[in-house]
Amino acid sequence: MKSIWGWNAALVSAVATMGTAGCASTPVPNTRVASSEAAIRAAQETGSGNIPQAALHLKLAEEQLQSAKTLIRDNDNKRAEYVLMRAQADAELAIALSRAASSNAKAGAAVDAARAVHTGTPTTP
């Protein structure tokens, strides 16, 4: 049978271990902040704000970035990391939608030009 001192030492050791584990936190996701900001900038530069569906995702990404920065200030880094992942995904989706819209516009112009050549009507550049 252990003495009272033995039990107290074990209890203090267990509490100290749990205390240090509780203090361990997720580091600030600076890399994710930078990659999310870069993706948002790229979406803005590709003209995502001019395509309604892409603009929606760009706006969501911007809002999520701000939300993540607030979470980081509140030391909720784990949740902030997930919000940043979502922000980057939305920004990348905005880029893809913008590029798709641009490709569709170019394809439509090419089809119109081909029809004009086929029918013999002149086209204006």
3-state secondary structure 23-68: HCCCCCCHHHHHHHHHHHHHHHHCCHHHCHHHHHHHHHHHHHHHHH
Amino acid type, 42: A
Whether 57 shows a pLDDT value over 50: the answer reads yes
Pairwise CA distance, residues 24 & 105, whole Å: 52
What pLDDT shows up at residue 114?
84
Residue 5 confidence class, pLDDT cut points 50, 70, 90? low
Q: What is the pLDDT of residues 24-56, one digit of tens each?
A: 578 999 999 999 999 999 999 999 999 999 999
Q: What is the pLDDT of residues 79-119, one digit of tens each?
A: 999 999 999 999 999 999 999 988 887 888 888 888 888 88
Q: Where are the domains of the chain?
A: 28-119
Q: The pTM is what?
A: 0.71
